[in-house]
Amino acid sequence: MTPLVALKAARDVDQPAFISLMNEDRVQSTSDGPLAGIPFAVKDNIDIAGVPTTGGCPARDTPATETAFAVQRLLDRGAVPIGKTNLDQFATGLVGTRSPYGACHSVFSPAHVSGGSSSGSAVAVALGVVPFALGTDTAGSGRVPAAFNGLVGVKPTRGLVSTRGLLPACPSLDCITTLTRTVAEARPVLDALVAFDEADPWSRPAPALLPPGVARRMRVIAVPDGPLHLDPEHEAAWQEALAHAARVGHVVRVDVTPFLAAARLLYEAAFVAERLAAFGHLLDGPGVDPTVRSIVRGADRYSGADAFAGLHELTRLRRLAERAFTGADALLLPVTPGHPTLAEVAADPVGVNTRLGTFTNMANLLDLCAVAVPAGSRADGLPFGVQLLAPAFADGPLLDLAARWTGETVAPPATRTLLAVAGAHLSGQPANVDLVGLGGVLHSRARTGPGYRMYTVDGPFPRPGLLHTGDGPADGIELEVWDLPEAAIGALLPTIAPPLHLGPLTLDDGSTVLGFVADTSCADPARDITAYGGWRAYLSS
C-alpha cells in the first residue's frame, strides 16, 4: 500500500482510530532504505516534529519540536508516517475507551473493546490501513489490542528501543512496540528501531552474545501448572492453544504464581506513583479523563517506605520467576482472561481494566521480552491471542519461536558443531564452565528421541550416562544442545572419562548430533534413573 493510498484509507476509517493525519505534501519517502515508501501510524504519545503529541488529551495542542528517536530511525530507512493514533489517555488503560476522541472497538465486533492503550494503532493495522504501527507497552498496552484484533504485538526488552520523544507513563518500564499482521512484517521494523541512544538514560545496548541460559533456538515452552480462571470462551480457546504448543515444541509445566503476584504490584502497590511523577502535573488541566485521574491520584496514599517495600517484594518475586526459565525457553500465557464489551467497561471501568492486566502487567517489572501472537478464534468468532515471554535480550530467538507458532518460515541459524549434553555440562551444573570457556553457546533445549535410558555413572563427580536400549520412554530425556567451535571438541575429549564417550545421539525432532553417551556396561538396573526424566530432576529428588 502506497502512503497516499494509506492516507485515503485512513480518512475512510469509521472508527476514531486516528487523532491526526499528515498533510499529503508531507507524506513522501525521503530515503531508499529497507522500509522505503512503507506507510505507518504512530501512537499519539510519541513525538513527530510539527504535530502535537496529545497523549489523548486535546489540551496538549502545541506541536512537537523534535521527532522521537525511534520514529526518526524509521524515517531514515524510508518509512512514511501518515498519522497519529488514538489511545487510552496518557497510556493509562488496557481497554481503548479512555479517550475524549472516542472509544475504539475490536475490528471483529462493534460491541467489544479494541484493547488499549494502543487502540488506534491496532485498529489501523487490523483494518489494513497501514502494514505496521507503533504503540507502547508498559503494562500490556501493545499486547492486549494485538490480541483483540488478531495481530502480532512485539514488546522488546526494556531499553532496546529508545523512548526519547515518548510522553512518559512509567519511564523505567515504558517500551515502544510494534503492531503488525505477521512476525515477518515485524522483523525489519524492529531491526530499524533497535539502537542504543546515549541521550536516553533508559536505553540499553543489545549484548553481542545471547545471555547465559538463552538458547538460539527455542524449543521448550513452559505453561502454567494450574487453572487460570479464564472466561469460558477464552478457556476453550486456551486449551486449543496448549495443544498447539505441544506441536510447536516440548511443553513443561511451571508455577506462574510469582508472575501473577508481580503483575498485581503495578497498580496495587507504590509502583503506580511513577505515573504520578511522570505526568501528575497534567492531571489538573482540562480534558483529563476522570478514571485516569483517579487511578494516578491514588498514588498519593503511598509513602517512600511503601515504595521500597514494593521494590523488595518485586526482587523476591523476580528470583522466584527466574526458576520458570531454568529448563524452559519461553513462557506461554493468554494475553487476557477474557474479552469484555464496551458496556461492561462502562459499568466497571477500573475493575474490568484491572482484570485485563492479569497476565501482562508483570512483563516489564520482571524484565522480560514478549510477543503476542494470534491463537485462533473463540467459539463466538472473536480472536484469541496468547503471548510468549522470555528473559531480557532473548528477543531474536523469541521472534523465531513466534514465527514457528504462526506457521511462518524461520531461517535455520548457522551452526558450528552441535553437542548434546545431559548431565554435568548442563547450564548451572559444575562442568558447564568448560563449554562456556571453549566458546560454546546454548543452541537449544531438547530431549532425546525415544528408546534412551539414563543411568548414574561413577567418576570424579556425579554424572549420568545415556544409553539407547530401545525400551526407554517415548517422550525422551531432558538435555541441552550446545554450539561449539570445531576445535572445542578436541579440547573436550581428554576430559571425558570412561564409560562415557562422544557418539551419535538422536534428538526428539529426529535429527542426530554428537553427544555424551555411555557404553553397555552402564546398564545396571540398580542405577537406572530414567523415571526422573532428566539429570536435574534426579538431583532435585
- As annotated, the active-site residues are 43, 117, 141
Place of cell 482540562: 286
Asked if 325 and 212 count as a contact pair (C-beta separation under 8 A), the reply is no
Q: 3-state secondary structure string, 80-101?
A: EEEEEECCCHHHCCCCCCCCCC
Q: Do the Cβ atoms of 385 and 374 come closer than 8 Å? A: yes
Where does 50-155 have alpha helices with state H? 69-76, 119-126, 143-148
The answer to whether 91 and 115 have CB atoms below 8 angstroms apart is no
Residues 366 and 360: their CA atoms lie apart, in Å, by 11
Do 15 and 128 touch, CB atoms closer than 8 A? Answer: no
180's grid cell: 503488525
User: CA-CA distance, 420 to 507, in Å (whole number)?
Assistant: 9
User: Measuring CA to CA, which residue among 223, 201, 203 is closest to residue 157?
Assistant: 203
Kindly provide the b/e burial profile for residues 314-323, where b requires at least 16 CB atoms within 10 angstroms of the residue's own CB: beebbeebee
- Which residues are CB-neighbours of 33 under 8 A, at least 6 positions away? 76, 77, 78
Strand (E) or helix (H) holding 396: helix 395-406
Question: Phi and psi of 221, rounded to 5°?
Answer: -110, 120
Provide the H-helix boundaries in 423-485. 432-437
User: 3-class DSSP state for residue 369?
Assistant: strand
Judged on CB neighbours under 10 Å (0-12, 13-18, 19+), 210 is middle
Report the Cα 191 to chain-centroid distance in Å: 16
Cβ neighbors of 491 (< 8 A, separation 6 or more) are 438
C-alpha cell at position 386: 496468547
First vs last C-alpha separation in the chain: 59
135 and 153 Cβ atoms separated by less than 8 Å: yes
